[in-house]
Structures are given as C-alpha cells and as structure tokens.
Structure 1
Amino acid sequence: MRMSPHLHSLLQQAISHHQQGRLQQAEDYYVQVLQIDPRQFDALHLIGVIAKQRGDTQSALNFFAKAIAVDAKQAKVHCNLGATFQEIGESAQALACYDLALSLQSDYALAWNNRGNALRELKRYQEALDSFTRAMEIQFNYPEAFLNRGICLQELGEHAQALADFEDAIKLRATYPAAQFARGFSLQQLGLYGEALDAYTLALQTTPSVANLAALHCNRGMVLAKLQRYAEALVDLQQAQALRPDFANAYLQTGHVYRSLQEHEAAILAYQTALALAQDKAQQAQIEYYLASLGAAPTPHAAPATYVKELFDQYAAHFDAHLQTLSYQVPRLLQDALQSCGLTQIERALDLGCGTGLCGDYLTTVAQHLTGVDLSENMLAQARRRNVYQELICDDILHYLAQATPSYDLIVAADVLVYFGRLDDLFGLIKNKLTSGAHFAFSVEESATDESKLQTSQRYAHSASYIRQLARTYGLRLRHFSHHSGRREAQHEVQSLIVVLQKN
C-alpha cells in the first residue's frame, strides 16, 4: 500500500531527527506516524531502536515483535532484535535472530559481526572467528569486526594474533579507544608493559565511557606497577576507585602495589576493602590468601587453585624470559642432584607442575615416557612447543595423583611445593604412585624456623627438619639433600632445598 505524502513527510522528519541523535523529537514523529497507521513497519522498528538506545530493552523487544508481525522478511529487524537479546544476556536467542536475519540477507555484514559476538559469549570460539571473518569479507572497512575478532582471539589466549586485528582496526579508525584498550590488554598479557602503557594512555585520552575509564585507569595502574612506577600506579588505581567505588579489582591491585612497597598495613586495608566488595567466591579466596600472606587472615593449607591457574596463565607467554632475570637455578640443580644419584635410564617419569617444560629437556633424556601435569593451559601450550612430553595433562596435581594414574619410576616437582603449606597429603599420594625403588625429586624454599610458613611473597617455605620428618613418615630414603640459592627476588637470594627421595 502506497504511503500518503503527509505520512511520508512525518516519517522522513522522524528519521532525520533520529540520525541527528535527537531521540525525543524522533520518537514524537514516529508516534504521530503510528497514530495514523499503527502497522507502519519503519516507525515500529525505529521506535524500537530508540528504546534500545535508551536501555529500555522490554519496550524494544515489544516494538520489534510488532514490526516482525507486520513484515517478518526484513533482516534488519531480526538483527536488532538479536542485539537486544544479547544486551540482556540471552545469547542463544540472539544467535537464532542473527541466523534468521542472515537467511533473509546473506551479505548482511552487521548480522555476521553480531552473530560472532553471540557465539563468543556461548564460548563457540572457532565459529565466532569464522563469523567475524565473514563480516570482514563482505565489508572490508569494518573496524568493529576486526576489534571483535581480536577480542575472541584474546579469549583463546592468542594475544599475538589479536594484536594484528587491533592494529588493523586502528588503521581503519584512527581514534578508536576500545581497540587501543584491547590492544593494551594483549600487550600486557605478553609482558610488553611499556607498549601496553602507551596503548592505555591513548585510550584514556579519547574514551567517553565512565565504566571504561575506571577499567582503563585500573589496567594502566597495573602496568605501571609492573614497570615499578608505583607512585604513578597508585594515582591511576585511586582514580579507578573514585570513578567506581565498588570496583573490587582496583582495591585489589592497590593492595598489590602497597605490598611491593613493603607498606603492609596499607596493603592489608586495600585487600580488606577488596574482599568486602568482591562478589566471586574464587576471588574472595584469593584475597583471603593475600591477607594470610601478610598475617591478617588464617593461613590456608595451600594456595587457591584459581590463584595458581590465573598467575601462570598470565605469566606463560614471558615465563622463561622472566626467570632468566631472576637467575632461576632450580631445574639445573634438580638435574645435578638426579645425576649424582646415578639416574640414567628409566621407563616412566612424571613432571608435576611442569609449566613451560623447563625440566622436560633433561627428563626426556632419561625417561622413555614423560608426562607433564599443570593447572595452567597457557603454560602447557608453551610446553607442547618443546616437543619432549609424550603426554601433557591440564589438572590440579592432587586431583591427578588421586586418580587411577600409572605408577612412575621418577616424579619431579620443581618449584611446585611452594604453593602448598602442609605436604602430608601430597607425599602420601606421591608415595602411592612411585614404583619400588623409584625416586621423588623436588625443591622447596627454606624456612629457618616454622615447618611451613606462608611468606609475604605468597609462596610457602618449609624447614629442613619438616622435610626429613616427612621422608621418615612415608618410608622414603634420603638420597640427596642440599641447600642452594634457587633464584633472586627483590635483589635478595632465595634459599632453597634440593631433595631427592627414594621409595624403599
């Protein structure tokens, strides 16, 4: 049915106001159109768009449904309906809407891009990457698709690849704070803190979003802390707190900075505030662990698994390079200890907490079959590149040892027991997995007094007498026991014990 000139004029005025961002005037004209023709598709659809822009998702859903009832063959209304579902966390329904839009218009770049976002939320990452790529094939000049594909790659831990997408997005849109923010995050994860700082600073200079400003200040504070520019870090973190007083991570990072400055009372106060604000139980357990390391909470039997996983997931990309700056000696010291015990050829070896595989290069020369176990998938990805393990397993080591795993002729734990306080359960499980006459080689940081002690470094130390007592309790013969500097921390030597025990 042909539209009357008056109705057409009203609709064009509404669209003009809408395009200029004058939402109230546009809505008034759309309402006038609908008073004349309640089934006018464009007015129903676009008044739904205004409701969505205002954050009134229920009204948006209602108007989009009315528009679809008038004309269900318009791809754009299904795409906008999907975007509204996505805003309220209904990613599966959003995906169905995008698929319907694409069935009506297969070259709809926006729908492909939005579909990728829904798939990413559903953790269907490869499909999401394919969807973003399809959007870019249809519309090359599409910075949002490059940004979103990069964020998806971040979810997969592929930060180097993600950087290429962020840089392409910025080439297409020179002032693009979201892309600079995402770029800064990947650089931060790769340990390129100076470059990350530059990216965050550029994002801060242009972002209009208060929520993003708080997150940006927090992240920039984190990289400034990594660069040991602690005073500047505190300024950014305090700015993040001012923008978002309930921002638990900003207080948590403030605690980390004060701990690095040895200002423990200030660190405790910041951690306690973070704990009061934290909603996630795993984060709460981590903060309690930080407080325990400063003597402000009960000491747990071990570090929280989420703490260890997150620590090494973030550390993985630059782990080996960083250890060189710490004069890290533990793998070499364990190798020397095992050689002094005459271990040359065995059938099966287990590398507990194998990390990037620093012990693997040696262990593969003495073992026919080498298994590595670690809680961090990112660390295991680095270990795979060494191509020395026959098997790599992502698991908590206590859980792995408690399962019906094979027995081993050698079990090695390099710099792993520092995340356990009491070692009785671990020793019992390890003894059960050793074949007759097999060896268990490990390191611990040495405590001069307590049997086990959680240090301000958030690592446990153990006394020599406690290790000897455990060996006697579990019937393990002492083959090697020596004191060494395992690494350096804050310009101080960290004293370690290198131990080899043999099952009787």
Structure 2
Amino acid sequence: MADNIPTLLQQALALHQQGHLQQAENLYARVLQIDPRQFDALHLIGLIAKQRGDLESALNFFGKALQVDSQQAKLHCNLGASLQEKGEALHALASYETALRLQPDYAMAWNNRGNTLRSLQRYQEALDSFEQAMRFQTNYPEAYVNRGICLQEVNEHAQAILDFEDALRLRPNYGAAWFALGFSHQQLQDYEQALASYQQALVLMPGHSPAYYNRAIVLIKLERYTDALDDLQQLIDIQPKSSSAYLQRGHALRHLQCFSEAVQAYQMALERGGDAQQIQYHLASLGVGASPSMAPPTYVADLFDQYAERFDQHLQQQLDYQVPQLLNQALQALRTPQNAAHDVALRFNRALDLGCGTGLCAPFLKSIAETLDGVDLSPKMLEKARQRHLYDSLYCQEIVEFLTQSVSLYDLMLAADVLVYFGDLQAVFETVYTQLEAMGIFAFSVEAATEIGWQLQPSHRYAHSENYIRTLAKQVGFELLELTLHHGRREQQQSVSSFIVVLKKS
C-alpha cells in the first residue's frame, strides 16, 4: 500500500498547482492515512491551510512536518509566512533566518524576510534583504515592488518609482505595482501621472477600493470634483460603511459649493465611525453645530503634512501671500525715530516662531534675533524649515502645549497666519504673556471678522474682530502697539483681509 504514496503525491501536487485545493487536500490526507509522518503531505496540507487563511491548522501541520525533518528551507519559509500573517513578526523573522542558513540563495525567503523587517520598521535591513532577493533571482517583480514600498515608508518616493517601473517592465500587467506607482506619484504631487497609474491599476484590479479612494483624492487635488464624486460613489457601493469615502465626498461637495449635500455626507461619515472631532469641525464650518474653540490638532497636522511640498510656491505664487512682509514691516516700525535715522538695527535676544511652517518668516526673524526657535504641529513642514538652516531649535508640538511646558523665555514671539486655526485666543494670549520677557513683543496676524468676536468660516479658518483683539489684549495685560487692516492673501479669487497686530508685555 505504501507504494501508492509517490503516485498520490504526484496527483495531489498537480491538483494543488492548478488551484484545486479541496481535491489536493483529500489526496494529501490519504497519504497521511498511509503514513502519518510523510513529510511532503504534512508540509503541503499545511500550505493549503495557510492559503485558506486557517493559520492555526497551517502551524499545526508545519509543526508536525518539522518533527519529521527540520532541515527543509521551504518549510521554514512557509512557517515564517504563516507567523507573519498571524502578526508574530519576530518569530517569523527567526523562521526566515533558519531558512536562509539552510539555503543562502533562497530568494523568496530573502524577500519575505524583507517584508517582516519592514513591518518592524527596520527599513535599512529590509532594503538590504530585498537587494539579496533580487541578486539571487533577477526576474523577481515582487521583490522590486516590496523594495519600492519600503522606500515609500522612508519617504523616498523618487527611488520607489524606479523600482515600480522595473517591476512593470518584468510584468506589465502587475496591478499592485501600478497602484504603488500611483501612490508615489501622488506623494510627489505629480497628480496627472498618479491618475494614469491608478487608472491602469483599476483596469487590472476592478473593484480595488484603495485605488478608487486614492484616485478620488487625486481628482480633488486636480479640482475635478465631479469625477471625484463618481469614484467615491464606486467606493461607497463596494464599502457602504466607509467613513473615509463619505468624508471625502463631503470635501468634494464643499468645493462645488453644494453645502447642504456636503453636510449630509459629513453626517454619514460621522455615523460610520469617522473622527468625530474633525467631522464636527467640518460641520461647524458650514454652520451646523457649535464651533469648537480651535481646529483639531490632527486636522492641522494632516493638512500641512500634505501641503508641505508645495506650500511656499502655492502661497506666494497663487495666493499672493503678504503676511510675512507685513509682520516684518510692523516689527521694523518698532525702531525709534532716532534709531531709524541712524540705521540702528532692531535686535532681539531670543525669538520664537509659533507655527513656523516651512520657515517663511525665518529670514527676517534671524536677521533681528540672536537665537531663533520654531514650533509647529507638522513634521513635514518642520523638515522644510530645517532645510533653511536658520533655526537654532525646532519643536514638533501644539503651540499652547509647547508654551505651557517651555522653560525658556523669549523677548519676541511671532505667529504668521497661525491664529486662524484658533477661535478662542485666550489660552494663546495667556501662555504667550507668561513666556515673554518683560517688555517682550508678540506680533501676529488674524483674518478680519465681519461680526463681533470670532467665527469659524467655510474656509475652515477662524476670523476675529478688532474689538475682540483689543479687549482680550487688555484683559491679559498687553499694551497694543499696532492693529492695522491689510490685504493678507487671496482665497478663491477674493481678497482676504487680515489684521496685523503687535502687542507688548507691559
């Protein structure tokens, strides 16, 4: 009867390779009835369990196979893949290491090891592992894609694109590679290329939800709001409970000025478990519900992380942004007439750029301050600011929280287009006042409100009235040195008026 085992295994393996899993499993089971310790049957029936997602059964069969023969690299590789899917990354890594000790040129094990290292955020080791996989198997599109995804994790999107393109040269109909290529183009703000890549991904992977979602985001960036709504509807048809789809639908409808429909979309996102704080903020900006006292920090950080690459160019070339120049002029006006006549420079000992962003105010601040620090919520904006080499220290933190915890005192604090994300300014004024030296200066801009007090606008930015600023400054203990109305920027082809304010700690 034992003589039938090779024939049964051959038949089972053929069925397995053809995707006939149940028939193959039945034959492997017949082999194990004949010989319960038959290695190939234990290993391969475990592999079928893994393919079905039954990881416990897979690990059970792989464990039995290990008791028969622990020197098979493929078994350790499949064991590692099961452990990886189960979320046991360190145990998976150990299995891949064992497989590679047994078979150093095992390309799949190198590739899988790279994926596990990436999940552990050990990115350089992961990149090295993918490199080894491609060294031992030159025609390996999966390894190119996985290395590209790892490069995406470390924000090396230009390099990642080269890997995705190599993968597509090897396998032109590789849908996952097209999707990943689209994502890197999207992160580099090359939206037309991203759009083309997502289109190809959807041709190859119809119904792929992430591609519909990302393509909708790109279409919104390209101001093709109606097309974005079509993609979002496709996504909602596939995933009716997707809060993200409804949230983006709300954004697209807002851009189309379909405000009542936008409100409905935001409410649907809220019902489906979306971020309540952010969604309530969006609704409040459309007049639904009470306005929060400030924008959610997560919203501000996400907004400016996405905006970082094109922030300077967009503000200066498209929005006619004037606030840094206006604040610089206001500070220069602090020089006494005598000092101005003798061209005596305005000097501060220690300055803090609140919500510094990419550092647009740093050049003039550094010229008047011995030491310049900056604080901002957005890591990507701070990275741009760091590249200017003008700040002595940079901090990633919410500004009131930073000031509350700071042990440093400053004789100048500046907030350019930052307080537009705060409604109630009392906490900002009080913490600034506390951390200013005696006679210290606080200079900032706010958008001018048409009503008394402060209000959240449809632009998601707060506006403040002149009376509100004057009253609060006096209440906290500031002396008002300047409060003037200027053109600060443009928004949807309309001039936005800003107050330029200079206060002194009395």
TM-score, length-normalised on structure 2? Answer: 0.94
Q: Distance in 1 between matches of 2:135 and 2:322?
A: 50
Task: Work out the percentage of aligned pairs sharing the same amino acid.
Answer: 57
Q: Distance in 1 between matches of 2:481 and 2:154?
A: 43
Who is 1:156 aligned against?
Answer: 154
Who is 1:435 aligned against?
Answer: 437
Query: What SS does the corresponding residue of 2:189 show, helix, strand or coil?
Result: coil
Residue among 461, 465, 468 paired with 2:463: 461
Who is 1:230 aligned against?
Answer: 225
Who is 2:338 aligned against?
Answer: none
Instruction: Render the CA deviation track for 1:85-107: whole Å, top value 9, x for unaligned.
Output: 22233323322322332333333
Who is 1:167 aligned against?
Answer: 165
Q: Establish whether residue 472 from structure 1 lines up as the match of residue 470 from structure 2.
A: no
Who is 2:88 aligned against?
Answer: 90
Q: Distance in 2 between matches of 1:152 and 1:405?
A: 39
Contact 1:443 1:497 in 2 (8 A): yes
Q: Distance in 1 between matches of 2:499 and 2:132?
A: 56
Who is 1:220 aligned against?
Answer: 215
When structure 1 is superposed on structure 2, of 43-52 and 133-142 the one drifting more is 133-142
Q: Distance in 2 between matches of 1:423 and 1:170?
A: 53
TM-score, length-normalised on structure 1? Answer: 0.94
Contact 1:341 1:480 in 2 (8 A): no
Contact 2:2 2:34 in 1 (8 A): no
Amino acid at match of 1:285: Q
Who is 2:66 aligned against?
Answer: 68
Q: Give 4+ residue runs of structure 1 displaced > 4 Å after superposition.
A: none
Contact 1:353 1:375 in 2 (8 A): yes
Residue among 287, 290, 294 paired with 1:295: 287
The unaligned stretches of length 5 or more in structure 2 are: 336-344
**RMSD of Structure 2 on Structure 1 (CA):** 1.8
**After superposition, where does 1:393-432 map in structure 2 within 5 Å?**
393-432=395-434
Who is 2:128 aligned against?
Answer: 130
Who is 1:321 aligned against?
Answer: 313
Amino acid at match of 1:415: D
Query: What SS does the corresponding residue of 1:486 show, helix, strand or coil?
Result: strand
Query: What SS does the corresponding residue of 2:408 show, helix, strand or coil?
Result: coil
Residue among 382, 386, 389 paired with 1:387: 389
Q: Distance in 2 between matches of 1:295 and 1:389?
A: 40
Amino acid at match of 1:467: I
Amino acid at match of 1:136: M
Contact 1:214 1:241 in 2 (8 A): no
CA change 1:350–1:140 in 2 (3 A) is farther
Query: What SS does the corresponding residue of 1:479 show, helix, strand or coil?
Result: strand
Instruction: Render the CA deviation track for 1:428-474: whole Å, top value 9, x for unaligned.
Output: 11111111222111111111104111111111111111111121112
Residue among 297, 304, 313 paired with 2:296: 304
Q: Distance in 1 between matches of 2:394 and 2:95?
A: 40
Q: CA deviation at 1:166?
A: 2.1
Contact 1:157 1:378 in 2 (8 A): no
Amino acid at match of 2:363: D
Who is 2:113 aligned against?
Answer: 115
Who is 2:342 aligned against?
Answer: none
Who is 2:13 aligned against?
Answer: 15
Q: Distance in 1 between matches of 2:167 and 2:332?
A: 54
Q: Distance in 2 between matches of 1:239 and 1:306?
A: 28
Q: Establish whether residue 254 from structure 1 lines up as the match of residue 246 from structure 2.
A: no
Q: Distance in 2 between matches of 1:315 and 1:475?
A: 36
**After superposition, where does 1:305-384 map in structure 2 within 5 Å?**
305-323=297-315, 324-342=317-335, 344-384=346-386
Amino acid at match of 2:298: T
Contact 1:190 1:318 in 2 (8 A): no
Q: Establish whether residue 243 from structure 1 lines up as the match of residue 238 from structure 2.
A: yes
Query: What SS does the corresponding residue of 2:500 show, helix, strand or coil?
Result: strand
Q: CA deviation at 1:5?
A: 5.0
When structure 1 is superposed on structure 2, of 155-164 and 6-15 the one drifting more is 155-164
Q: CA deviation at 1:422?
A: 0.6
Instruction: Render the CA deviation track for 1:66-86: whole Å, top value 9, x for unaligned.
Output: 112222222222221222222
Query: What SS does the corresponding residue of 2:181 show, helix, strand or coil?
Result: helix
Query: What SS does the corresponding residue of 2:199 show, helix, strand or coil?
Result: helix
Q: CA deviation at 1:299?
A: 1.6
Q: CA deviation at 1:141?
A: 2.6
Contact 2:247 2:269 in 1 (8 A): yes
Query: What SS does the corresponding residue of 1:501 show, helix, strand or coil?
Result: strand
Q: Distance in 2 between matches of 1:394 and 1:137?
A: 40
Who is 2:29 aligned against?
Answer: 31
Instruction: Render the CA deviation track for 1:297-331: whole Å, top value 9, x for unaligned.
Output: 32211111111111111111222222221112211
Q: CA deviation at 1:35?
A: 1.6
Q: CA deviation at 1:406?
A: 1.0
Amino acid at match of 1:154: Q
Contact 2:157 2:184 in 1 (8 A): yes
Query: What SS does the corresponding residue of 1:288 show, helix, strand or coil?
Result: helix
Q: Distance in 1 between matches of 2:7 and 2:358?
A: 67
Q: Distance in 2 between matches of 1:480 and 1:171?
A: 63
When structure 1 is superposed on structure 2, of 380-389 and 237-246 the one drifting more is 380-389
Q: Distance in 1 between matches of 2:475 and 2:107?
A: 67
CA change 1:441–1:141 in 2 (3 A) is farther
Q: Establish whether residue 197 from structure 1 lines up as the match of residue 211 from structure 2.
A: no
Q: Distance in 2 between matches of 1:183 and 1:264?
A: 34
Q: Distance in 1 between matches of 2:104 and 2:481?
A: 70
Q: Distance in 1 between matches of 2:50 and 2:416?
A: 55
Q: Distance in 1 between matches of 2:265 and 2:12?
A: 52
Q: CA deviation at 1:4?
A: 5.9
Contact 2:449 2:465 in 1 (8 A): yes
Q: Distance in 1 between matches of 2:485 and 2:309?
A: 30
CA change 1:298–1:104 in 2 (3 A) is farther
Amino acid at match of 2:360: L
Query: What SS does the corresponding residue of 2:92 show, helix, strand or coil?
Result: helix
When structure 1 is superposed on structure 2, of 483-492 and 119-128 the one drifting more is 119-128
Query: What SS does the corresponding residue of 1:141 show, helix, strand or coil?
Result: coil
Q: Distance in 1 between matches of 2:399 and 2:110?
A: 42
Contact 2:324 2:361 in 1 (8 A): yes
Q: CA deviation at 1:267?
A: 0.7
Contact 2:452 2:467 in 1 (8 A): no
Contact 1:10 1:33 in 2 (8 A): yes
Q: Distance in 1 between matches of 2:499 and 2:121?
A: 43
Who is 1:286 aligned against?
Answer: 278
Q: Distance in 1 between matches of 2:131 and 2:433?
A: 52
